[in-house]
Structure 1
Amino acid sequence: MDRRKFLQWGSFVTVTVATTGLAGCGGDDNASPATPSTNPPTTPPASEPGNTFTFQQGVASGDPKPDSVVLWTRVDGNNGSKPVNVQLQVSTQADFSTLIVNSTLAASPDWDYTLRNKVTGLSAGTTYYYRFQVGNQTSPVGRTKTAPAAGTPLSQLKFAFITCQDWSVNHWAGMEELVNEDLDFVVHMGDYIYETVGAAFQTGKVETRHAQLTLPNGTLRDDGAHYATTIDDYRYLYKSYRSDPRLQALHARFPVIAIWDDHEFSDDCWQDHQTYTAADDATPRTARRRAANQAWFEFMPADVSFDQADTSFHNIQIYRSFTFGNLATLVMTDERLYRADHVIPEQAAGSEIGSRYFVPKTTLAALEGSKLAAAGGALTPVSILGDTQRGWWQQQIGNATTTWKLWGNEVSLLRMQIDGALAVGSLLADAVIAQIPALGSQKRPLTGAIAQDLKDAKAANSYQAPAFTQLRGLLAGLTVPALQINAIVAALTSGLPPAMLIDQFILNADQWDGYNAERKAMMAFLKMQRISNVVALTGDIHAFFAGPVMDDYDAATPVPVMVDLVTAGLSSNSFQSYFKSVVDSDAAFADAKPLVYTTDGNGAMVNTFNTTLTSFNPWLTYVNSDAQGYAVVTLAASKLSCSFHKLKPIADGVAPAMPATASVQVVEVAAGTPAVTLA
């Protein structure tokens, strides 16, 4: 018996109404409607016998609302150019003894035989089971859960947020571990796939069960890597990633709310531009961007709008929001499709260094100011969100009546800077102390004196032979003999690092640090509206961070406004490892090695990068820059608790056995206070 009402066929999304589900209090008012077909078929198209087909990528659900959820699968097999009939069944019982949906859907070759079906008319806060059938083949059973109705009093909400699951490095044991958590849903902060194969950052240890990927088409880069270019390339990546049973199990167990970051299209992208070379700034890649948009839409169980007839790269809108009872509003933003070019274009800097990474702070601020002035103060040319989405964000956050306002944010809001003069001063102070160990207690004044001397020398164009006036005076006051002072100065002068390091640097201008004016404007909005309990959920940077986001990081006394929680990548190589590779391979940065790592008596690496980061960024309450892992958040009315799970490393090509977690750090945010404490 067909126990469902079939509402409409869609080219991209179909919608069915459950027959016995009780309608909840409605979804979010910004939900995107399903896109109807211009010629909906009156009966589903015929298909070949069912034993030709399988469900190689499993099943998935997403975007849970009080009365609806999106269900997904893909049929794998050969049916020529014809659609394939697929039966969808939904039940409140794991044995499917009573069906509330029993619908026939058509998986079209136009969408790579993927299906996205939005089931409406469901009951709020309810667990459902679903499966797909074609012929005599049945998919794995999926389990999903609708959101509590808006305003419903909740004692607790629990979810995980994850990011950066590069197939080509490390392991995916974290997914297997997460399946055993008792979660309401999972938030994916992007970098679900990586568009490159064979890139330098994808080298290292990897599970033997993850075979090397080969793109169907791909484009060769100068460094020997290939990057996805066509719709077939992007589909291949999603199908390959979804072939892993651990990722399938995670999707089958929990509804996932996903947003993209950059690698779903291109590393450090903006709009339809890639950034592999300095020349890429000038060349739009609209066809490639559209291919990435379509593949993401095909493979994500997301309640979003997509218009293939729109020939621009703005043919999809994925920013959206969710409400969970009286506890949480979750606002998911798209921080790639509308963002302006980096303030310092790669073409101007000549490379990513000086443009996106290790960017002089004063230069960045000056150029951002120039762009703002040229635009009459409008944020458009220096924006991550774009004007329309920023206004929408303000509306969603400003109108939220829940205790917590969660922001699915992708790139960190936390300032991450290094004062090159102080960093070099610290290293040279260590050299002085090595010659005179009795000066060990004077590390801080030595560092300050040397840093000031180097800045003065650079300003006076005498960096090759600094006078070291401050250092000489300090040492003389400490009764160091003049001959020894001269010897120390001579030794320091002979080993000075490049003058370009004597500056203040933003480590990553692809983050909000590179779009400071918009960040300040958004923090000003929160302050002006007196909006509290705003917490960002962030990924991208392959490290754990937690701390308050300031109204103006450059103010004499910055004021905390909200909190940013940043999870490490599930598998991607760590933030610290990238800096280690630079100081190990680039002579210009070799002297900075102690700021990134040292070695102990057994030759094992000791991570010093955490301390380096916190010493220049006092708002960073917690840092673990060398980790893979995930985060689990438990929300209550009085506090938010976030557990950062650092995973055990891979060994001989094999992922660690369960439990995969090596250590857990819990951080807490008390309601009403934009601060982080370590539990």
Structure 2
Amino acid sequence: MDMDIQPPRRTFIRQMAASGALLGVAGLSGCTASGVAEEVAPGFRHGVASGDPLADRVILWTRVTPAHDGEGDVAVRWQLATDAAMRQVIAHGSVVTSAQRDYTVKVDAAGLLPGHVYYYQFAVDGGDKSVVGRTKTLARGDAKQVRLAVFSCSNYPAGYFNVYADAARQDNIDAALHIGDYIYEYESTGYACGQAEALGRVSEPRDVLLRLEDYRRRYAQYRADPDLQAVHAAMPFIAVWDDHEFADDTWRDGSVDHKTSQYGPFELRKHAALTAYHEWMPIRVPDASAPDKIYRSFDFGGIVSLHMLDTRLIGRDQQLMLSSYYDEHRRFDVEKYKHDVCSPRRQMMGHEQMAWLEEQVSRSTARWQMLGQQVLMARMEYPTAVVMGECSPTNYCALKKRAEADPSCVNEKEQRWLSAQTLPCYLDSWDGYQADREQVFAMMRKHRKNLVVLAGDTHNAWASDLRDAEGRQAGVEFATASVSSPGMEGGYPGRDPDDVAAMMVDLIEPLYYAQTSKRGYMIVTASHEQVRCDWRFVDTVFQHEFTAATERSLRVLPGPGNRRIEECYG
């Protein structure tokens, strides 16, 4: 196990801190709860960011903090240099922002060299300058490896962003992937807010997010966080949304939490959330006429073709509900349930996105096809007796062990439990859209590709083999824990978290590894020889002082005889 105790910042972070470029908490002291300073000179209180790197360009982002509400146009200058001191400037320009785009700034800086590190900075008239950010373009065919930091589920009131702080200190990260729930939309008394007041992290605005100004204020609050600013300043981000950038369990035309009678048309709320996301995230819009279409691909030097998918908004049909398959006598219709979750009419991605993905995969010559997407693709099916509440997970695992040791001690009812089929029960994931999942697996098999899926959403860490409906190995899935949202530990109070994780591995057949109680992220390192995933966790999100450790490392090898999870040695 590799452990650091508050490791020192690496060269760039150290240089910037020494020069005062990283403002930290002190630089935010003039902010209101929304992150906008009152009666101060224009500045850059939400840091800088870069994103969507290509071999010859990258998006540069910042936000100007206006001196007054309703201030008019603001001219912002930008520079791009090859050195952190900003002496070797190779590109520069000017852009105008205003309240119409919440004073955010995006520049698509082009004409760059592949696989190069660059530094960038913004300034406004009067001398105010932003911090200096570091970014990197994608390599072409001469790359030896690709290193990605993978994040999900960063809930501001649930704890400090120590995960981001640790990631900002890592060396040689080519890009960060944020695969959803960058913000949460709940009211200040909503989900995971139990310690928010004590931590000084009460959500703003206080009410649930509905209007454009609501989403803007929530992004401003998050982006005022110094740890989030540090990781954005250290590496380019490639991001997609999940549900909480909109509303809980969002699908194409609604959300489980959105009540039209109370909140108005969902389409208006979706448009507000979309607008704020594109303003505040360093994302390049593939089609300006369709801002909801954010699926896109990135090629890392012949090693990885990364396809960022939208499994949430653009094509998803409404989620099925397990409860709707009980009749008036509380009998569960297993056959109808299985038929519906496997129905080819149910879509997760939509036909257009699926066709786009196949085109990308078929054209790619990279060693690995990597899907950056939101929810678990692996089969997370439970024994029927557990799903139906006839047997607890703990007792079922004990029954399995007892039956393996002495089959004669199992009674008839227990034997039925053991021999019954498994059932999916987390229907917001790919388990609820199995025809689309089979189509993705068939696509990879048809084109003879090595598949690695990256997932988030559940707040827990997982590693699973991906198998199709006939049991054929299709690839692997690495799923990250959350940045701050609580995991399964709350469901098993007083129980050893390692026992809970072991129980999950015992219950779910394709599951290889689980960590169900810690906050963290993944570092995924890809080469022509393997893809390795290191799960890195912090020991607390309730104090600024923390330790971080790489707790588990697994890998997958390419080729039809491999493409399954195995241990890392050395």
State the TM-score, normalizing by the size of structure 2. 0.83
State whether structure 2 residue 512 is matched by structure 1 residue 523. no
State whether structure 2 residue 567 is matched by structure 1 residue 675. no
State whether structure 2 residue 44 is matched by structure 1 residue 153. no
One-letter code aligned to 1:633: V
State whether structure 2 residue 538 is matched by structure 1 residue 621. no
- In 1, are the aligned partners of 2:501 and 2:515 still within 8 Å (CA)? yes
Residues 292-371 of structure 1 aligned to structure 2 (within 5 Å): 292-305=273-286, 307=288, 315-344=291-320, 348=324, 362-368=335-341
Deviation at 1:418?
1.5
Give the whole-Å Cα distance in 2 for the aligned partners of 1:620 and 1:645. Answer: 19
Deviation at 1:668?
0.8
1:143 to 134, 151, 174: 134
1:244 to 225, 245, 253: 225
State the TM-score, normalizing by the size of structure 1. 0.70
Give the whole-Å Cα distance in 2 for the aligned partners of 1:559 and 1:429. Answer: 26
Task: Count the aligned residue pairs.
Answer: 517
Give the whole-Å Cα distance in 1 for the aligned partners of 2:271 and 2:305. Answer: 30
- In 2, are the aligned partners of 1:169 and 1:207 still within 8 Å (CA)? no
- In 2, are the aligned partners of 1:277 and 1:346 still within 8 Å (CA)? no
Counterpart of 2:23 in structure 1 is none
Residues 567-606 of structure 1 aligned to structure 2 (within 5 Å): 567-577=480-490, 580=491, 599=495, 605-606=496-497
SS in 1 for 2:245: coil
- In 1, are the aligned partners of 2:150 and 2:176 still within 8 Å (CA)? yes
Deviation at 1:346?
8.8
Deviation at 1:281?
13
Counterpart of 2:527 in structure 1 is 636
Question: Residue deviations 1:349-399, cap 9 Å, x none?
Answer: 79xxx9xxxx98644322345xx4xxxxxx4x4111000001101111221
Give the whole-Å Cα distance in 2 for the aligned partners of 1:639 and 1:347. Answer: 42
- In 2, are the aligned partners of 1:167 and 1:193 still within 8 Å (CA)? yes
One-letter code aligned to 1:177: D
Give the whole-Å Cα distance in 2 for the aligned partners of 1:428 and 1:233. Answer: 46
1:564 to 463, 477, 489: 477
- In 1, are the aligned partners of 2:52 and 2:236 still within 8 Å (CA)? yes
Counterpart of 1:654 in structure 2 is 543
One-letter code aligned to 1:678: E
Question: Residue deviations 1:489-523, cap 9 Å, x none?
Answer: xxxxxxxxxxxxx9854231100000011111221
Distance 1:361 1:172, change over 3 A: farther
SS in 1 for 2:52: strand
Counterpart of 1:591 in structure 2 is none
Give the whole-Å Cα distance in 2 for the aligned partners of 1:103 and 1:575. Answer: 49
SS in 2 for 1:103: strand
Name stretches of at least 5 consecutive residues in structure 1 with no aligned partner. Answer: 1-49, 219-226, 373-378, 434-438, 457-501, 581-595, 600-604
SS in 1 for 2:87: coil
One-letter code aligned to 1:161: V
Give the whole-Å Cα distance in 2 for the aligned partners of 1:635 and 1:250. Answer: 21
Deviation at 1:539?
0.7
Percent of paired sites with the same residue:
29
Distance 1:280 1:628, change over 3 A: farther
SS in 2 for 1:138: coil
Distance 1:236 1:431, change over 3 A: closer
Counterpart of 2:101 in structure 1 is 111
Give the whole-Å Cα distance in 1 for the aligned partners of 2:410 and 2:241. Answer: 43
- In 2, are the aligned partners of 1:161 and 1:631 still within 8 Å (CA)? yes
Distance 1:275 1:633, change over 3 A: same
Counterpart of 1:257 in structure 2 is 238
Deviation at 1:443?
6.3
Residues 106-505 of structure 1 aligned to structure 2 (within 5 Å): 106-134=96-124, 135-149=126-140, 152-182=141-171, 183-198=173-188, 201-205=191-195, 208-215=198-205, 218=207, 227-276=208-257, 285-305=266-286, 307=288, 315-344=291-320, 348=324, 362-368=335-341, 372=343, 379=344, 381-421=345-385, 424=391, 442=405, 446-447=409-410, 449-452=412-415, 504-505=422-423
SS in 1 for 2:306: strand
One-letter code aligned to 1:128: Y
Deviation at 1:100?
1.8
Counterpart of 1:38 in structure 2 is none
Give the whole-Å Cα distance in 2 for the aligned partners of 1:677 and 1:647. Answer: 24
Counterpart of 2:61 in structure 1 is 72
Counterpart of 2:82 in structure 1 is 92
SS in 1 for 2:156: coil
SS in 2 for 1:105: strand
Highest RCO, 1 vs 2 (Cα 8 Å, sep ≥ 6): 2
Counterpart of 2:455 in structure 1 is 538
Deviation at 1:161?
0.6
One-letter code aligned to 1:366: H
One-letter code aligned to 1:250: V
One-letter code aligned to 1:417: E
Distance 1:392 1:633, change over 3 A: same
Counterpart of 2:21 in structure 1 is none
Give the whole-Å Cα distance in 1 for the aligned partners of 2:261 and 2:334. Answer: 24
One-letter code aligned to 1:327: I
SS in 2 for 1:168: helix
Range with bigger deviation, 78-87 or 540-549: 78-87
- In 1, are the aligned partners of 2:497 and 2:516 still within 8 Å (CA)? no
Give the whole-Å Cα distance in 2 for the aligned partners of 1:180 and 1:165. Answer: 18
SS in 2 for 1:64: coil
Give the whole-Å Cα distance in 2 for the aligned partners of 1:180 and 1:201. Answer: 30
Question: Residue deviations 1:284-312, cap 9 Å, x none?
Answer: 500000000000000111111465xx6xx
Please provide the CA RMSD for this pair: 3.1
One-letter code aligned to 1:424: C
Structure 1 or 2, whichever has the larger Rg, is: 1
State whether structure 2 residue 431 is matched by structure 1 residue 513. yes
Range with bigger deviation, 335-344 or 275-284: 275-284
Question: Residue deviations 1:590-621, cap 9 Å, x none?
Answer: xxxxxx5764xxxxx45543233222322111
- In 2, are the aligned partners of 1:342 and 1:514 still within 8 Å (CA)? no
Give the whole-Å Cα distance in 2 for the aligned partners of 1:93 and 1:65. Answer: 20
One-letter code aligned to 1:259: V
One-letter code aligned to 2:545: P
SS in 1 for 2:44: coil
Deviation at 1:670?
1.2
Distance 1:138 1:516, change over 3 A: same
One-letter code aligned to 2:61: W
